[in-house]
Amino acid sequence: MRSTSRKSVRKGAQPCPDMTPMMDIVSIMLIFFIVTASFVRKAGILPNFPDSSPQPTKKDPTIGFQVDGANRLFHEGRLIGFWSVEGIIKQAHTERPEALVMIAIDHGAHTRHMVRLYDEAVSAGVARNKIAVLIRDE
């Protein structure tokens, strides 16, 4: 009688070693080398990026005038007379030739004041496409 405790080996098949412990050792060594490796940063050319912070503007690019509902004329928050408009525009236009002339007029103000400011800007040398008129509904 044969004992049943022995494994039967097929003919032609050869026994092979179990590779599971070997794979465990290889993976542990791989993890060890990755953790203990030191990465060297080679010196190279670093790009010089410009600052992305906005640069402060020196002056407002517009020359502004406001006419309120009581037909009073203001420039930069100061009450001025209509006779001084041409001189203000000439001085500002020579300092900043690219500046626009902005005329803000209340809805209740006289139209003649808007026309006068427009004509003063044209006679001061400002191009017609550099003059803007804003009618405020206040």
Q: Is residue 103 part of a domain?
A: yes
Three-class DSSP category at 28? helix
Q: Is residue 118 part of a domain?
A: yes
Q: Is residue 54 part of a domain?
A: no
Tell me, rounded to whole angstroms, the distance of Cα 13 from its chain centroid: 73
Q: Is residue 126 part of a domain?
A: yes
- Starting from the edge strand earliest in sequence, which strands make up the sheet with 78-80, in order? 78-80, 73-75, 62-67, 100-106, 131-136
pLDDT digits (tens), the chain, 138 positions: 555 555 555 666 788 888 888 889 999 999 998 888 887 777 766 666 666 666 655 555 789 999 998 999 999 989 999 899 999 999 998 988 888 999 999 988 998 999 999 999 999 889 888 999 988 885
Q: Is residue 13 part of a domain?
A: no
User: Is the pTM here over 0.85, yes or no?
Assistant: no
Q: Is residue 130 part of a domain?
A: yes
Supply the CATH number for residue 132's domain: 3.30.420
- Number of domain units in the chain: 1
pLDDT of residue 50: 65
Q: Is residue 2 part of a domain?
A: no
Q: Is residue 20 part of a domain?
A: no
